[in-house]
């Protein structure tokens, strides 16, 4: 889905993601995927001037879910080496790194970037 991210976008995106994961029989990754989506959309709101983005949710073989958030900003995300305990921001990629099995950044639309992550449902059985 393509949209302009705002204050309530993450909440709506989480609801949609949760619905797809339940339909696919991949409820075991719901918390991790919802957290990852929330953090990536927060980064769009904070760092992308026009806040336009595309969210892609992919069901892959072996119970793996891949999420891609693309935007038109060339600004690359940076994983903080450390974050002060009283900092109000800077933890998004640290959290993503903690909950995702893999994540990275690739080229995106119009000179922008795509930030992606993957989570594997090791406990559940993927729906056919």
Summarize pLDDT for 46-67 with one digit per residue, the tens. Answer: 999 999 999 999 999 999 999 9
Q: Is 25 domain-assigned?
A: yes
Q: Is 126 domain-assigned?
A: no
Rounded Cα–Cα distance for residues 115 and 100 (Å) = 12
Rounded Cα–Cα distance for residues 39 and 103 (Å) = 13
Q: Give mean pLDDT, residues 100-108.
A: 95
Number of structural domains (the chain) is 1
What's the distance, CA 50 to chain centroid?
A: 18
pLDDT tens for residues 115-127?
999 999 986 544 4
User: What b-and-e string marks burial along 88-110, b requiring 16 or more CB atoms within 10 Å of the CB?
Assistant: eeeebbeebeebbeebeeeebee
Greater confidence (77 vs 26) lies with 26
pLDDT tens for residues 8-42?
999 999 999 999 999 999 999 999 999 999 999 99
Question: Where residue 105 sits, what CATH number does that domain have?
Answer: 3.30.565.10
Q: Is 127 domain-assigned?
A: no
Q: Is 32 domain-assigned?
A: yes
Q: Is 125 domain-assigned?
A: no
Q: Is 93 domain-assigned?
A: yes
What's the confidence (pLDDT) of residue 82?
A: 65
Partners of 77 in the β-ladder: none
Range of the domain at 39: 2-120
Q: Is the dihedral of CA 106, 109, 110, 114 positive or negative?
A: negative
Q: Is 86 domain-assigned?
A: yes
What's the confidence (pLDDT) of residue 93?
A: 86
The terminus-to-terminus CA distance of the chain in angstroms comes to 24
């Amino acid at each position: 889905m393509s949209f302009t991210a705002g204050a309530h976008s993450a909440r709506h995106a989480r609801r949609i993601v949760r619905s797809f994961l339940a339909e696919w029989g991949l409820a075991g990754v719901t918390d991790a995927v919802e957290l990852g989506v929330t953090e990536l959309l927060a980064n769009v709101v904070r760092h992308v001037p026009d806040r336009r983005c595309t969210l892609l949710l992919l069901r892959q073989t072996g119970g793996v879910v891949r999420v891609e958030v693309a935007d038109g900003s060339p600004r690359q995300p940076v994983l903080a080496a450390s974050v002060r305990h009283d900092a109000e921001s800077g933890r998004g990629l640290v959290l993503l790194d903690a909950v995702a099995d893999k994540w990275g950044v690739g080229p995106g639309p119009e000179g922008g970037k795509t930030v992606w992550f993957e989570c594997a449902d090791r406990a559940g059985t993927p729906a056919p």
